[in-house]
């Protein structure tokens, strides 16, 4: 088979472009699905992408001869096909996304099928994109290092570029533009073989992209999202759209929109309509009031000001600025506000600017766009009042946010908050009351453990008041004075709130106006402020009430498996998913991915023969499984650690994925210089295992130390820190694949498939392990996985029997 | 009450229209059906209430409602009477009597039958009571309330839902229900004071006008939760001008703690 040689540089560039597109497309879809549905699909998109890669490997294993025979024209055609599906995904899936709703997954029988159909459409894009990559890898196995490098570097560039583009373009515009990359990749590898039909395909692809760019599809968020429900109000309309990597910011106006959370039942005034509401990715961000709202004096926000004057106020996650307005109303002299979502805050500030007073541009108000934890780590000033946004959501979100990291509600966060309080300063944090009771008890547990750690008596420093739907905790740095207690009692009487925690409190005072659903609520609450009863409550309660930590920052995740039978008995099986929908969605999608990976990757490969019987080397399965699991676990762990470090999930995902891929690519390139001896891939895996073990101990403290650095230094520090393990992680796979391919190309297909399959499963599995055991466990398992890979590669005897399909022709190295 | 109405009407009509009993049974029934339909008394869609649905409804009441401790006879009668399947989208009719909420569009749901029954029972409605519902949705809850009193006022802010619920209620025979499209924040001042107010679309705050329109001794009930999972019910009572609240669990209280 003599063919015209293709310029290697063009091929490398083509792979780089294709890889960049595939990662960019993943990030774009994560954001799009977060907008249309909920953020849980991030895990699913990664899994589907990996499934596409795995399935393509299996496909190659079966059709390798025919695919390689036509590789010259097939490569550009596959890239064009990937480009077309990428551009059209949103249009094709529009009908599905209009009918699919994650909230209905456990309600309507057809929803699971719609979910599968949607997954298939995404799978097609990644399958068509991965196919040319896999074909090139197999055809040029002796030059795999540089090709793998091009692939990983391209992926890294794709991640960064996607985030940059998200600043300027709306989510629905991005996929079609990204589709230009695989199109360009295809153009680069057009050869003489069937040149004109292929060029025709390229022209058609470009025409499709142009059509979708000119007429981008409309996106319709789920009818259960906050924005949809607001838009249902008469006269409601979207007044502004602002793209942002934090999520699409939308400003909605509606003549009948009112917002007065936590309002006392004694308030007799008018609750004015707000001038607009701000949403990010379709979720409520805040309301922008017409002028200064008068109702705030009739909420629990008034408590700290009733106790004493508050000169210096720190408002964390300030949203649209309700607490800022109230601080100004109460005569604060310096207000520091921290709101990482710059665009959403800016859109609210602009709107405030058109109304009287313009509180957000007031000279006493200072703004920071850092994440609250980053800001707390950077600054040491103390404040008379620190306010946090209300925890949870009114009525609950059916546990939809169970897997959302909330670093402002961890034990470590509360310790930092404590140290930022002035000697007489107070922290005000409220939570919506839920049933069965979870949020308020976990919050109380967090406060109780924090106070214990700093060595103060919670009974003298803590008060709590309860309205009909919220409970507010007031944590004071110095002991509460008689005057404080008197003021709290007086305001409670005036607003008809019940004190829940207060020095010298009588039992009957706790239920004067509002009787809780759970008659044991106060017993449970009290238990949380003494070590032994607290431990007893932790172990006996149906839900997990333990405070969350930076290692396991899922504040809204309460489900414990031991409590499940009791809860099913109480609420019935149909209601159960809605106790913690977010977690159940991850479990369901994990199950789907396990089945899909087995069906699309492993089952077809069984036709090639079982390991051991057909010459498949015994180290192949543990080695490539270990690499797949180890890599994904480390990546997921890294992204989560970076959320705290960089302050936002999308930056964390882009930085984590891109840096890991780029350095792995460099590592792959470097590994090409090593002797491709049997021990080398084992040694490379052992090196990774050792490095990960070292990083298990040093990564969290080093990231914590560097969190205070200026952004540019922070990025440089992170890159230096991540380079050694990431480079090492790029070595074992190409070394092992190269080693295997020399022995048998069919075994290389098995290796590719196993690695893909395990990677697919690992994404969801890492999330589940993080919830159950924390991210340290995820990191440790990654370390062990590489250890197993190293062990199997080093100590397995080398089989010399060829695989069954090795007689099949390959392209060799002629191109 | 619709079933009761039907029986009454049949008795009256047969006495009035066919004193001699000269027609065959088939003709007689057909004529009765025609007459009462024209008179606007028999729900036009009643024909859609097949034996299968009647059976399912009885089972629903026995298993899901009585089985969970609802004892108020008037409420149970109302739940047996109102054809729930006519208040859900066509494609979900087969699931209408299942133990759960169902989507009705616009991000709204028709509540789980048990929640509807529980909220109705809690309001302690008497035939002479005036009841205001905020958030008509499909109109099902209003129909259940209409089985207990003739003075039902219901408001829906989403125009499409208000329109379809109004038409549906009329079609099924609940023309006495007063339906209004409007902002529930303001309540229905002309109908006040109310003995019972049901806020089926709960918000983060209770509108002050609603508290003002709640009569002395009146009860307001608010289901708190997300669309598919009502967490608990908030009962607001006004006694001697003082407003108190009580959070009610949907399950008869069972501690979420396994040991003392």
- State the ipTM, two decimals: 0.84
CA distance A319 to A341: 8
Q: Is the same domain home to B35 and B56?
A: no
Domain at A276-560, CATH from 1.10.3450.40, 3.10.129.10, 3.40.50.150, 1.10.760.10: 3.40.50.150
A516 touches chain B (CB under 8 A): yes
Query: For position A77, what pLDDT does the model report?
Result: 96
- Cβ distance A262 to B105 less than 8 Å, yes or no, reads no
Q: Which residues face B236 on adjacent strands?
A: B220, B245
Q: Is the same domain home to B12 and B117?
A: no
* Phi and psi torsions of B200, nearest 5°: -80, -20
- Cβ distance A107 to B228 less than 8 Å, yes or no, reads yes
**Is B215 inside a domain boundary?**
yes
In A258-390, DSSP assigns E strands to: 276-280, 283-288, 312-316, 334-338, 365-368, 383-387
CA distance B243 to B225: 22
Q: Is the same domain home to B35 and B129?
A: no
Tell me the chain A residues in contact with residue B158 when contact means C-beta distances shorter than 8 Å. 232-234
Where in the sequence is the domain holding B135, given as residue range(s)? 51-249
Q: Is the same domain home to B25 and B79?
A: no
For chain A, the domains span 1-220, 276-560, 585-798
Tell me the chain B residues in contact with residue A394 when contact means C-beta distances shorter than 8 Å. 202-204, 224
Query: For position B113, what pLDDT does the model report?
Result: 94
CB-CB contact of A309 with A329 (8 Å): no
A514 → closest Cβ in B99, B228, B245: B245
A496 touches chain B (CB under 8 A): yes
- CA–CA min distance A469, chain B (Å): 8
pLDDT at residue B3 greater than cutoff 70: no
pLDDT at residue B16 greater than cutoff 60: no
Q: Is B217 left (phi over 0), alpha (psi -120 to 50) or beta?
A: left
A476 by DSSP, 3-state: which?
Answer: strand
Span A585-798: which CATH code? 1.20.1250.20
CA distance A301 to A318: 14
Q: Is the same domain home to B152 and B57?
A: yes
Q: Is A398 left (phi over 0), alpha (psi -120 to 50) or beta?
A: left
Q: Is A675 left (phi over 0), alpha (psi -120 to 50) or beta?
A: beta
B106 → closest Cβ in A232, A496, A542: A232
Q: Is the same domain home to B101 and B29?
A: no
Q: Smallest Cα–Cα separation from A731: which of A684, A695, A784, A691?
A: A684
**Is B45 inside a domain boundary?**
no
Tell me the chain B residues in contact with residue A543 when contact means C-beta distances shorter than 8 Å. 256
Q: Rounded to a whole number, what is the largest CA-CA distance in chain B? A: 74
- Cβ distance B204 to A262 less than 8 Å, yes or no, reads yes
Tell me the chain B residues in contact with residue A516 when contact means C-beta distances shorter than 8 Å. 247
Q: Is the same domain home to B204 and B139?
A: yes
pLDDT per residue as tens digits for the range A378-405: 899 999 999 999 988 776 666 666 778 8
- Cβ distance B231 to A396 less than 8 Å, yes or no, reads yes
Structural class in CATH, domain A1-220: mainly alpha
pLDDT per residue as tens digits for the range A118-159: 888 889 999 999 999 989 988 887 777 788 889 888 988 998
Give yes or no: B138 in active site. no
- The number of distinct structural domains making up chain B is 2
pLDDT at residue B9 greater than cutoff 50: no
More confident residue, A616 or B132: B132
Q: Is the same domain home to B176 and B106?
A: yes
Chains A & B: contacts with CB separation below 8 Å:
158
Q: Is the same domain home to B131 and B34?
A: no
**Is B25 inside a domain boundary?**
yes
Q: Which two tokens stand for residue A356?
A: 């009287």
Q: Is the same domain home to B80 and B156?
A: yes
Query: For position A629, what pLDDT does the model report?
Result: 94
Tell me the chain A residues in contact with residue B186 when contact means C-beta distances shorter than 8 Å. none
Q: Is the same domain home to B93 and B193?
A: yes
CATH number for the domain that contains residue B236: 3.40.50.150
**Is B63 inside a domain boundary?**
yes
Q: Is the same domain home to B109 and B198?
A: yes
Q: Given this chain, do its domains A1-220 and A276-560 carry the same CATH topology?
A: no
- Cβ distance A514 to B246 less than 8 Å, yes or no, reads yes
Report the sign of the C-alpha dihedral through residues B174, B176, B182, B186, in that order. negative
Q: Which two tokens stand for residue B122?
A: 């809690």
Burial of A443 (0-12, 13-18, 19+ CB in 10 A): buried
Q: Smallest Cα–Cα separation from A26: which of A626, A563, A661?
A: A661
Q: Which two tokens stand for residue A171?
A: 């989510």
**Is B89 inside a domain boundary?**
yes
**Is B44 inside a domain boundary?**
no
- Cβ distance A107 to B102 less than 8 Å, yes or no, reads yes
**Is B255 inside a domain boundary?**
no
B87 by DSSP, 3-state: which?
Answer: helix
CB-CB contact of A409 with A391 (8 Å): yes
Tell me the chain B residues in contact with residue A563 when contact means C-beta distances shorter than 8 Å. 256
| B48 band by pLDDT with thresholds 50, 70 and 90 | low
- Cβ distance A258 to B157 less than 8 Å, yes or no, reads no
H helix and E strand count, chain B: 8, 9
CA distance B252 to B67: 11
State the CB neighbour count (10 A cutoff) for residue A88. Answer: 21
Q: Which of A295-304, B35-44, B247-256 has the highest mean pLDDT?
A: A295-304
A232 → closest Cβ in B158, B208, B257: B158
Pairing of strands B242-249, B229-239: antiparallel
Q: Which residues of chain A have pLDDT under 70?
A: 1-7, 39-40, 352-359, 395-401, 608-617, 673-679, 743-746, 796-815
Q: Which two tokens stand for residue A177?
A: 């533009």
Mean pLDDT, chain B, integer: 82
CB-CB contact of B169 with B139 (8 Å): yes
- CA–CA min distance B202, chain A (Å): 8
**Is B133 inside a domain boundary?**
yes
- Cβ distance A268 to B243 less than 8 Å, yes or no, reads no
- CA–CA min distance B23, chain A (Å): 48
Burial of B20 (0-12, 13-18, 19+ CB in 10 A): exposed
Pairing of strands A276-280, A283-288: antiparallel
Q: Which two tokens stand for residue B40?
A: 């606007």
Given the residues B111, B138, B164, B226, select the one marked as catalytic: B111
Q: Which two tokens stand for residue A282?
A: 């379709």
């Amino acid at each position: 088979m003599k063919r015209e040689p293709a310029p290697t540089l063009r091929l490398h560039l083509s792979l780089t472009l294709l890889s960049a597109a595939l990662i960019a497309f993943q990030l774009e879809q994560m954001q799009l699905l977060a907008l249309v549905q909920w953020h849980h699909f991030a895990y699913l998109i990664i899994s589907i992408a990996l499934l596409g890669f795995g399935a393509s490997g299996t496909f190659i294993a079966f059709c390798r001869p025919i695919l390689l025979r036509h590789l010259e024209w097939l490569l550009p055609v596959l890239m064009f096909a990937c480009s077309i599906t990428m551009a059209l995904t949103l249009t094709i899936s529009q009908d599905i996304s209009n009918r699919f709703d994650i909230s209905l997954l456990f309600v309507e029988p057809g929803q699971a099928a719609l979910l599968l159909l949607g997954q298939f459409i995404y799978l097609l894009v990644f399958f068509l994109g991965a196919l040319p990559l896999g074909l090139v890898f197999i055809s040029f196995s002796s030059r795999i290092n540089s090709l793998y490098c091009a692939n990983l570097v391209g992926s890294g560039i794709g991640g960064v570029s996607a985030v940059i583009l998200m600043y300027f373009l709306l989510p629905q515009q991005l996929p079609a533009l990204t589709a230009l990359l695989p199109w360009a990749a295809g153009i680069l590898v057009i050869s003489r073989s069937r040149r004109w039909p292929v060029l025709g395909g390229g022209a058609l692809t470009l025409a499709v992209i142009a059509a979708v760019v000119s007429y981008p599809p409309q996106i319709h968020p789920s009818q259960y999202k906050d924005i949809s429900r607001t838009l249902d109000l008469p006269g409601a309309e979207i007044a502004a759209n602002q793209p942002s990597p934090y999520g699409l910011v939308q400003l909605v106006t509606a003549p009948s929109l009112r917002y007065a959370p936590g309002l006392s039942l004694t308030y007799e005034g008018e609750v004015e309509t707000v001038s607009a509401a701000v949403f990010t990715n379709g979720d409520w961000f805040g309301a922008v009031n017409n002028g200064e709202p008068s109702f705030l004096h009739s909420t629990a926000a008034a408590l700290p000001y009733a106790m004493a004057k508050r000169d210096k106020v720190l408002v964390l996650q300030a949203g649209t600025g309700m607490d800022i307005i109230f601080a100004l109303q109460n005569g604060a002299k310096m207000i520091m506000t921290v709101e990482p979502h710059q665009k959403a805050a800016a859109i609210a500030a602009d709107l405030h600017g058109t109304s009287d007073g313009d509180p957000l541009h007031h000279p006493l108000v200072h703004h920071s766009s850092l994440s609250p934890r980053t800001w707390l780590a950077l600054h040491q000033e103390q404040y008379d009042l620190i306010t946090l946004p209300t925890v949870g959501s009114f009525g609950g979100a059916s546990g939809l946010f169970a897997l959302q990291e909330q670093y402002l509600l961890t034990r470590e966060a509360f310790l930092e908050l404590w140290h930022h309080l002035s000697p007489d300063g107070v922290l005000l944090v409220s939570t919506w009351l839920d049933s069965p009771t979870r949020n308020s008890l976990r919050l109380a547990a967090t406060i109780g453990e924090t106070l214990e750690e700093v060595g103060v008596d919670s009974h003298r420093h803590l008060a709590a008041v309860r309205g009909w739907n919220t409970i507010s905790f007031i944590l004071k740095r110095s002991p509460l004075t008689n005057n404080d207690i008197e003021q709290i009692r007086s305001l409670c009487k005036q607003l008809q709130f019940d004190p829940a925690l207060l020095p010298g409190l009588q039992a009957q005072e706790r239920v004067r106006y509002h009787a809780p659903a759970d008659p044991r609520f106060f017993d449970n609450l009290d238990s949380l402020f003494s070590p032994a009863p607290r431990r007893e409550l932790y172990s006996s309660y149906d839900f997990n009430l333990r405070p969350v930590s930076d290692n396991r920052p899922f504040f809204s995740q309460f489900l414990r498996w031991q409590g499940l039978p009791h809860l099913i008995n109480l609420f019935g099986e149909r209601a159960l998913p809605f106790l913690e929908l977010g977690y159940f969605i991850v479990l369901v999608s994990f199950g789907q991915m396990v089945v899909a990976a087995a069906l699309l990757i492993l089952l077809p490969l069984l036709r090639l023969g079982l390991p051991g019987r057909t010459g498949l080397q015994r180290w192949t399965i543990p080695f490539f499984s270990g690499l797949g699991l180890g890599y994904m676990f480390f990546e997921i762990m890294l992204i989560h650690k970076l959320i705290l470090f960089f302050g936002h999930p999308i930056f964390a995902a882009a930085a984590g994925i891109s840096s890991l891929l780029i350095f792995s690519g460099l590592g792959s390139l470097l590994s090409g210089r090593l002797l491709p001896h049997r021990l080398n891939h084992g040694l490379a895996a052992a090196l990774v295992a050792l490095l990960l073990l070292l990083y298990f101990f040093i990564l969290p403290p080093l990231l914590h130390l560097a969190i205070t650095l200026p952004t540019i230094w922070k990025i440089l520090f992170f890159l230096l820190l991540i380079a050694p393990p990431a480079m090492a992680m790029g070595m074992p796979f190409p070394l092992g694949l190269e080693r295997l391919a020399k022995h048998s190309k069919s075994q290389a297909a098995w290796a590719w498939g196993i690695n893909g399959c395990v990677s697919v499963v690992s994404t969801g599995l890492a999330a589940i392990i993080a919830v159950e055991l924390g991210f340290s466990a995820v990191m440790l398992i990654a370390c062990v996985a590489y250890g197993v890979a190293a062990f199997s590669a080093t100590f397995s005897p080398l089989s010399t029997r060829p695989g069954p399909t090795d007689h099949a022709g390959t392209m060799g190295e002629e191109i | 009450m619709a079933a009761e109405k039907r029986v009454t009407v049949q008795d009256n009509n047969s006495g009035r229209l066919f004193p001699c009993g000269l027609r065959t049974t088939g003709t007689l029934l057909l004529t009765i059906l025609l007459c009462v339909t024209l008179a606007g008394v028999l729900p036009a869609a009643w024909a859609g209430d097949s034996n299968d649905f009647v059976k399912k409804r009885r089972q629903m009441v026995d298993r899901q409602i009585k089985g969970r401790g609802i004892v108020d006879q008037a409420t149970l009668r109302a739940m047996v009477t109102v054809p729930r399947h006519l208040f859900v989208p066509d494609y979900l009719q087969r699931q209408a009597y299942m133990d759960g909420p169902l989507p009705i569009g616009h991000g709204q749901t028709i509540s789980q039958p048990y929640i509807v029954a529980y909220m109705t029972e809690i309001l302690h409605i008497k035939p002479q009571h005036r009841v205001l519902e905020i958030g008509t949705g499909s109109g099902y809850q209003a129909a259940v309330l209409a089985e207990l009193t003739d003075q039902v006022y219901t408001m829906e802010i989403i125009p499409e839902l208000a329109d379809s619920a109004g038409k549906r209620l009329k079609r099924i025979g609940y023309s006495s229900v007063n339906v209004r499209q409007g902002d529930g924040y303001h309540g229905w001042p002309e109908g006040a004071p109310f003995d019972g107010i049901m806020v089926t679309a709960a918000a983060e705050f209770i509108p002050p006008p609603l508290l003002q329109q709640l009569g002395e001794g009146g009860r307001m009930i608010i289901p708190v939760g997300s669309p598919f999972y009502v967490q608990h019910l908030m009962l607001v009572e006004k006694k001697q001008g003082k407003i108190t609240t009580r959070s009610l669990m949907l399950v008869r209280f069972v501690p979420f703690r396994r040991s003392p």
